[in-house]
Amino acid sequence: MVEAQLRKRGIRDERVLRAMLEIPREEFVPRELRVLSYRDDPVQIGYGQTISQPYMTALMAEVLELTGTETVLEVGSGCGYAAAVLGTLASRVISVEIIPGLVELARGNLRRTRRDGNVIVVQGDGSMGYREGAPYDAISVAAGAPDVPASLIEQLNDPGRLAIPVGDRDNQELRVVWKQGGRIDSRVATTCRFVLLRGGEGWN
């Protein structure tokens, strides 16, 4: 997976590659679908949600340019895999999930794989961020939004970086947004297709 799907497709951050080499992705995939764990495809995890394809997980981590000292907000815990990756790359991760069943799934997966030391999973409307832990040096949103939520921009540190899929219900662009000196800039990293961001600043 790391060599064929990540390095050969342009992922260059060695810390990201090492994290994804170390973390057992199959431990975050439903047992009956573990044969699909290392394909470059999303996999269903229940509740109409998926674990993102490995390349997208790596790309979203890479564009945040984490050095190991950051506090990171993740929106959309899912099964906890991306939170485990981010936890390997940053000092602290707060992961917010709106679906109660997935909160328990992510917590269990992180605990079983011993990746919960600096990662906490909370239930809530991640489209509104998580003010209790703000500001965040980096924010990763694992669901497609109609626009960049104002709450996330507000809770982003200065300087800080945000990765978020933005578009319509079927197709999005992965935007990398950064705050520097009070100014907000952005670029498009790639096209993508994510499950929808639910909540007050997401889709109904």
Catalytic residues: 52
Please provide residue 29's backbone torsions phi and psi, each rounded to the nearest 5 degrees.
-105, 140
For the chain, the first-to-last Cα distance in angstroms comes to 35
CA–CA separation, 114 and 100 (whole Å): 21
β-strands 172-180, 136-141 pairing? unpaired
- Which CA distances in Å does 157 have to 29, 101, 184, 186? 33, 30, 11, 15
Unique residue bearing structure tokens 């990398």: 176
Residues belonging to the chain: 204
* Dihedral of alpha carbons 99, 160, 173, 21, sign: negative
For the sheet containing 136-141, what is the strand order? 119-123, 92-97, 71-75, 136-141, 156-167, 172-180, 183-192
